[in-house]
Amino acid sequence: MKILVKNHFENATQALRANRGRTFLTIVGVAIGIASITMVLSLTGGFNHLFGDNSNQSSTPVAIVKSGNQKAVPNLLTESDNTTTVNTLTETDARDIGKIANTKAAPIAFLHAELRAREGKVDIQNAALIGSTESLKDVANLQIATGQFINDIGGVVVGQQLSVDLFGTERSIGNVIYIRNQPLTVVGVLKNIENQASYLDVNFNNAAIIPLSVIKKFTQGTPQIQQIIVTTKDHKNLNSVIKSADDILKKNHDSDKNYRIVSGEEINEKKSNVARFLSIILTVIGIISLLIGGIGVMNVMLVNVAERQREVGVRRAVGATGWDIINQFLIEAAIIGFLGGILGYGLGLAGAYIASLYLPLTPYIYWQTAVLSIGLSIIIGVISGVYPAARATRRDPIESLRY
């Protein structure tokens, strides 16, 4: 049996070498489909891994109180819920939640305004202006490169990239930023954050943070708080903290459930849904490409069968069974699928890493991805070779010898 399999393998490789150009193009067809699937799975894994860990960047558990009680619906046209949610949270809510034992709470109030300096300006599409309290430094794990963090007196803390964009330097302490013609002095610059993606929907490298008391001056005395970030010291206490926060909010809002409290995987549910939606679409495209590659394999095998009718006739005449003929052609198809899978997997990984240069994530490689990619290509190859192989055995051996 081993000798027979070895003989089939040698015959298959010889036949494929005899038509190198045709074989190579067929392998490339399979590789394109496998590369698409590999790239999608790797980038999706990196996306999920990034945001799955993002809400746990600190050593303490996190919960987020969000304005409005409507669950976010995945929308590819918006980056966050902040643009569509009615702001129902107040300073009192953040202050009362912060009084829970072993808990810190920081409100987040976004203000859409252009940031100007003498050296230049940054529009609202390229920078985030945030009103918050001193607690934000701890709950968001922010580190100061130079200067200090905000306090109730005033001042503004900027990200390193925003500092460079506005002042041309990372050392901008003492410089003045104008927000709606109101001057604010830079009192601190944040350390650069390598992982720019944030479960708070903020890129702190391009953010300006001012005290909540200051941002009220731009919103008629009432800060537009979109969310309150809550942290506690122990994961075991998170559920009890959430319950206490819920009780406080019910009391403050007269039992009007115009807020949501999310934690764990719920924090990044919208991003995960978008990633899942995109991965499904791209995977379908990859599967279609792979099926086209499979049709290419079938076409090549049909041509091989037509060109090798005399060879088939000779083998049948000397005692080869129909299964022997089928196995030989199936091995050829499997070899094409295997080589296409290896090439496609390599191209897919290369494509994923090239794409990651322009994305705030690193492809995450699962061993299952390699097994799935290569295994699927072999299966497609074998399935595509079944019909041509079966067709090779249908012709009468004597008639085949006339070719």
pLDDT tens profile 9-53: 777 787 778 778 888 888 888 888 888 888 888 887 777 666 555
| Within a domain: 253 | yes
Q: pLDDT grade, residue 247 (50/70/90)?
A: very high
Residues in the chain: 403
Is the domain of 247 the same as that of 355? no
pLDDT tens by residue, 131-177: 999 889 888 888 899 999 988 777 899 999 888 888 888 888 999 99
Is the domain of 162 the same as that of 305? no
Is the domain of 278 the same as that of 218? no
Q: pLDDT grade, residue 291 (50/70/90)?
A: confident
Is the domain of 41 the same as that of 175? no
Is the domain of 192 the same as that of 278? no
Is the domain of 330 the same as that of 203? no
pLDDT of 243 higher than 60? yes
Helix (H), strand (E) at residue 163: helix 160-167
Q: How far apart are CA 400 and CA 394, in angstroms?
A: 10
| Within a domain: 66 | no
Is the domain of 97 the same as that of 233? yes
Residue 307 lies in domain: 2-52+273-400
Is the domain of 231 the same as that of 133? yes
pLDDT of 322 higher than 80? no
Neighbour count for residue 364 (Cβ, 10 Å): 18
- What is the reported pLDDT for 78? 40
Buried b (16+ CB within 10 A) or exposed e, 174-197: ebebebeeeebebbbbbeebeebb
Is the domain of 91 the same as that of 236? yes
Q: Of 223-227, 253-257, 265-269, 284-288, give the lowest mean pLDDT range.
A: 265-269
pLDDT of 324 higher than 90? no
| Residue keyed to tokens 């067809």 | 29
| Within a domain: 62 | no
Look at residues 223, 218, 219, 189 and name the one whose alpha carbon lies nearest to residue 204. 189
The domain tally of the chain equals 2
- What is the reported pLDDT for 51? 58
- Among 232, 257, 282, residue at a domain's last position: 257
Give the residue with greater pLDDT, 187 vs 51. 187
Look at residues 391, 327, 392 and name the one whose alpha carbon lies nearest to residue 1. 327
- What is the reported pLDDT for 12? 73
pLDDT of 366 higher than 90? no
Crossing angle of helices 367-392 and 20-54, in 10° steps, is 150
**Could you tell me the pTM of the whole model?**
0.62
pLDDT tens by residue, 101-130: 888 999 998 888 888 888 778 876 778 889
| Within a domain: 71 | no
Rg, Å, the chain Cα set: 31
Is the domain of 236 the same as that of 295? no
